Amino acid sequence: MVRLVLVLGDQLTEDIHALREADKSTDVVVMAEVMDEATYVPHHPRKIAFLFAAMRKFAARLEGDGWTVAYTKLTDNDNSGSIPGELMRRAEEHGAGEVLATEPGEFRLIAALEECPVPVHQFGDDRFLCSHAEFEDWAKGRKSLRMEYFYRQMRERTGLLMQDGKPAGGAWNYDKENRKPPPDAVGFGGPMRFTPDETVQEVLDLVADRFGDHFGEIGDFWFATDTGQARRALAHWVTHGLPRFGDFQDAMKEGEPFLWHSILSLYMNAGLLDPREACAAVEEAWKAGDAPLNCAEGFIRQIIGWREYIRGIYFLQGPDYATRNILRHTRDLPPLYWGAETRMACVGAAIAQTRDEGYAHHIQRLMITGNFALLIGAEPSQVQDWYMASYVDAYEWVMTANVIGMSQFADGGLVASKPYVSSGSYIDRMSDYCAGCDYDVKERTGEGACPFNPLYWHFLNRHRDRFEGNHRMGRLYSNWDRMDEERRTAILKAGDEVLDRLDRGETV
């Protein structure tokens, strides 16, 4: 009997579980470009183009390997517009009574497959190093679910950067060595760029026509769109970017959107690059003496530590995790997040880069756009939707714990031990943005004061009952209390004025 084998746009590897369970001689692979998946949030045009192009190339690769592939392009007249709709249509077309699928990384799509009239068998996604059951076992009985301890366990399990059962160099984490401010010059041209071929150009024209109203520019599209290209991008970065990645991974520099970051997350998250392969290449570079330990460890921690951890949290907490709002923030995300004018140089740079590239690195996301959203009290689900819509590597499994937990503290401290808020001084220390800003980063009050400064104290003051007892924040409140009352009143008034201007739709 014919079975359908569903392959989603972020499952583009021949080793995906559903394909391993299928019979090439009788089963039919179903792949589809559908409006539901492109618009449940208004995804960045680069993300849509990347996935559609990579899907088309992967389908051709499967066909070349002997699979029967039923591929639906967005423009096909019979396109139903949804994944369940395409499964129903293809089941009738091929006389199939069952669908084999690999578990999606988003609860909304898991639910859609569970409700599909054609029976769907969902297999676990074993591209990840830690299964749901294994993460649940790790989490069981723990008072706190801190990533550092999970990461150590993953190091031991994988053997990466381990020597005689101990961490290489004697320490698990070299994060303290990875916080240097930006250098005067970068000297690295960034990630490997690929010229669009005929398949990619056809998709770019389609996306420009159909999704031109989405936030983001296609511009000079350069992403890898198949596994071979993704592996070349990995090799290029390991040779040229990794040796200085660790030192400056938290730095931000005007006109340098990538610095030494790998930009490999979009390839790993779509299935074009195996995270094990990436980590092995980085470890080998360290062993060969081609990359410092702090650089190799910083990258591997992001992959086997943070990446696996946030996926574990997403599935452990369940579908309602994305709705949490422990701080009861309700302010609408201001238009500046969608490209409206702002006088804040750091926010403007991060959002312009996001618009143009569909990318910003973790500190730009956490300590600029996320920090500002948290300080103004933006409603967390709106922040989550913005991140989902804005970044090419965004899927719910990776974004929810990053945004709801790490960035917005909306889960009450499940992921982060304290809220990631800062005044302008942190941004000034880790970037060169402030030098060209309309605002003065050293001022807390007055017309030219950096908005981050009064907003920082405004946030701490209004949430004092919750955070004063936090062992990592007690000193902040002591500093606040040492200010004279007149100074505190002026700072809070300045914070109110910034919030009022945002609410009135004025440029900040």
The DSSP output letter for 431 is: B
H or E segment and range at residue 54: helix 45-64
Does residue 213 sit within a domain? Answer: no
Q: Are residue 169 and residue 298 in the same domain, yes or no?
A: yes
H or E segment and range at residue 199: helix 198-210
Alpha-carbon distances of 220 from 201, 266, 496, rounded to whole Å: 11, 17, 41
Helix, strand or coil, per DSSP, at residue 480: helix
Pairwise CA distance, residues 298 & 498, whole Å: 37
End-to-end distance of the chain based on CA atoms, in angstroms?
Answer: 63
Pairwise CA distance, residues 172 & 181, whole Å: 23
H or E segment and range at residue 71: strand 68-72
Q: Is 373 exposed, middle or buried (0-12, 13-18, 19+ CB in 10 A)?
A: buried
Position 219 scores a pLDDT of 86
Helix, strand or coil, per DSSP, at residue 195: coil
H or E segment and range at residue 48: helix 45-64
Position 177 scores a pLDDT of 86
Pairwise CA distance, residues 271 & 5, whole Å: 16
Q: Are residue 447 and residue 479 in the same domain, yes or no?
A: yes
The DSSP output letter for 307 is: I
User: Which residue type occupies 464?
Assistant: R
Half-sphere exposure of residue 356: CA atoms within 13 angstroms, side-chain side? 11
Position 1 scores a pLDDT of 84
Is there a contact between 124 and 103 (Cβ–Cβ < 8 Å)?
Answer: yes
Query: What angle (nearest 5°) sits at the alpha carbon of residue 272, between those of residues 268 and 276?
Result: 50
Does residue 205 sit within a domain? Answer: no
What are the tokens at 206? 């389609």
Q: Are residue 280 and residue 347 in the same domain, yes or no?
A: no
Q: Are residue 158 and residue 297 in the same domain, yes or no?
A: yes
Does residue 200 sit within a domain? Answer: no
Q: Please give the tally of structural domains in the chain.
A: 3
Q: Are residue 58 and residue 160 in the same domain, yes or no?
A: no
Does residue 410 sit within a domain? Answer: yes
Reference 46, options 216, 205, 170, 165; nearest CA is 216
Tell how far CA 282 is from the center of its chain: 21
Q: Are residue 140 and residue 117 in the same domain, yes or no?
A: no
Phi, psi of 486 (to 5 degrees): -65, -40
Position 143 scores a pLDDT of 86
Q: What is the pLDDT along the chain (508 residues), one digit of tens a residue?
A: 899 999 999 999 999 999 999 999 999 999 999 999 999 999 999 999 999 999 999 999 999 999 999 999 999 999 999 999 999 999 999 999 999 999 999 999 999 999 999 999 999 999 999 999 999 999 999 988 999 999 999 999 999 999 999 999 999 999 888 889 999 999 899 999 999 999 999 999 999 999 999 999 998 999 999 999 999 999 999 999 999 999 999 999 999 999 999 999 999 999 999 999 999 999 999 999 999 999 999 999 999 999 999 999 999 999 999 999 999 999 999 999 999 999 999 999 999 999 999 999 999 999 999 999 999 999 999 999 999 999 999 999 999 999 999 999 999 999 999 999 999 999 999 999 999 899 999 999 998 999 999 999 999 999 999 999 999 999 999 999 999 999 999 999 999 999 999 999 999 9
Position 200 scores a pLDDT of 98
Alpha-carbon distances of 502 from 149, 290, 451, rounded to whole Å: 40, 49, 11
Domain span at residue 267 reads 132-190+241-308
